[in-house]
Amino acid sequence: MPSPSLAPTDEQRRPGLQAGRLPAAEIERRFADAHPALNAVQAQLEADRCLFCWAAPCVAACPTGIDIPSFIARIAQGNLRGAARTILQANPLGGMCARVCPTEVLCEQACVRQAQEGKPVRIGELQRHATDALFADPGVPLFTRAPATGRRVAVVGAGPAGLACAHGLAREGHAVVVFEARAKGGGLNEYGLARYKTPDGFAQRELQWLLSIGGMELRCGQVLGRDFTLDGLRRDFDAVFLGLGLAGVNALGIPEPEAEGLRSAVDFIAELRQASDLAALPVGRDVVVIGGGMTAIDAAVQSRLLGASQVTIAYRRGPDAMPASREEQRWAQTQGVTIRHWVTPKAVRASEGRVQGLQLVGTTVVDGRLVEAGDAFELPADMILRAIGQAYVPGPAGADIALAAGRIRTDDEGRTSLQGVWAGGDCRAGGRDLTVEAVEHGKRAARSIHLQLCRA
């Protein structure tokens, strides 16, 4: 993706929330694929760099345990369909994970080539090469569904965890109904990731491929607690999987005035992902994003791509503590985003119902505790995006389900405290909120549910 020009245009200089800061064609150009796919020659050369290690450390570092040397060997042999089979066998959402996994802290960090040369095999891009080839020409089904068992499972949430679970159960011959609150399936893949990571409707193409296994019914616009209850699902189905995600957004911890321009980064990204015309989307001239995770990076970079003149990420600790990797931080900086570490918000300044600035103060660590240090200062801001994490909202699932650290407590297989109810993805306690981890939760829960149904 081309970097945005650092010289602001007149439109970019206009204060306040403004749509069309750049010509539509320029915005489209900026939102093109962030990392264009490898071509056949590049993929071949990269596959040839793999040492096909025995007890490969890259496999152990992949939360879904993809047999990485095997799929790379198949690419090297020109067998892209076989490579895709190896990937999707272990990770049915391997196409999306190839685009959004932080490989620099997972498989590629563990790669032997990284230790030897400081340059890992580009595993994520090879994974994308193989899965893109399959989605471009799926041919006969890669996996076949077992004969119908007559057992029914409800999955709540059509995000990565729910879809991985549903697909695994459907393959075993169970009938799965997936209840999704939003208008489309895909969860964060459809609503929560930067647009330039998943262009060309990839989340929906992947969803259609998953559904093509058969035995999965997707019901959108169905809200737990409004259109159905957990008790009802437990009564009507043989098992239930909860992939609820995190519906709440953490507050800043300072007064948040009702003012135009102050909003959640999650909502901003969702609106941007669903927009049919990016040039019609308002964005500030001076944008401040508060937080340090992937949501903060995605919101900040996309604000810049829409034409914001100055975009700053404000994070309360140093670069090593940021949930977004060093690679992601560098990426944001190359797109013109300024990252200010060791600062925390003190006050939102608003006037006439509009955000005008954000007051911040420095931070430091004393005796292991983060404390304020130095004088307060203000950044001009006509748009402030909160990206300081999301929270599990327990209400819809009912009060009976046990929690740990504010999320659903499960065992390793995803079993909750309620008989016949499993959970996975971000709503489950103890995870790192990664797409690939959510897929593994769904996979393990599907295996556990299947074994339970076989025994019953």
207 Rama sector, left if φ>0, alpha if ψ -120 to 50, beta otherwise: alpha
Q: How far is the CB of 374 from ligand SF4 (least distance, A)?
A: 45
CB under 6 A: which stretch of 50-58, 240-248, 331-339, 407-415 binds ligand SF4? 50-58
Footprint of ligand SF4 on 82-141 (CB under 6 A): 111-113, 121, 123
Residue 37 CB, shortest distance to ligand SF4, in Å, is 18
Distance of closest approach, residue 120 Cβ to ligand SF4, in angstroms: 6
* CA distances (Å), origin 184, targets 157, 204, 278: 11, 8, 19
Residue 75 near ligand SF4 by CB under 6 A? no
Strand locations in 261-340 (E): 262-264, 286-290, 310-314, 337-340
In the complex, the smallest distance separating the C-beta of residue 111 from ligand SF4, rounded to whole angstroms, is 3
57 lies in the site for ligand SF4, by CB under 6 A = yes
DSSP-assigned letters across all residues of 204-260: HHHHHHHHTTSSEEEEES--BTTTB-HHHHHHHSSEEEE-----EE---SS---S-B
- Of 12, 21, 38, 69, the residue at the interface with ligand SF4 (CB under 6 A) is 69
Query: Which residues sit opposite 242 in a β-bridge?
Result: 156, 423
Among 27, 43, 58, 97, binds ligand SF4 (CB under 6 A): 58
CA contacts within 13 A on the Cβ side of 221: 1
Sign of the alpha-carbon dihedral angle for 302, 304, 307, 311: positive
Stretch that binds ligand SF4, among 45-53, 296-304, 323-331, 403-411 (CB under 6 A): 45-53
Residue (58 or 297) nearer to ligand SF4, CB: 58
Strands (E), 65-222: 152-156, 175-180, 216-220
Which of the ranges 21-29, 51-59, 313-321, 362-370 carries the binding residues for ligand SF4, by CB under 6 A? 51-59
Q: Which amino acid is it at 283?
A: V
Q: Which is nearer to ligand SF4, 32 or 53 (CB)?
A: 53
Token pair of 153 as six digits: 């499972």
Is residue 68 within the footprint of ligand SF4 (CB under 6 A)?
Answer: yes
- Residue 265 contacts ligand SF4 per CB under 6 A: no
Within a 13 Å sphere around the CA of 7, how many CA atoms are in the beta-carbon half? 0
Contact pick of 17, 34, 37, 53 for ligand SF4 (by CB under 6 A) = 53
Q: With CB under 6 A, what is the number of residues at the site for ligand SF4?
A: 14
Instruction: For residue 377, state whether it binds ligand SF4 (rule: CB under 6 A).
Output: no
Residues that bind ligand SF4 (CB under 6 A): 50-53, 56-58, 68-69, 111-113, 121, 123
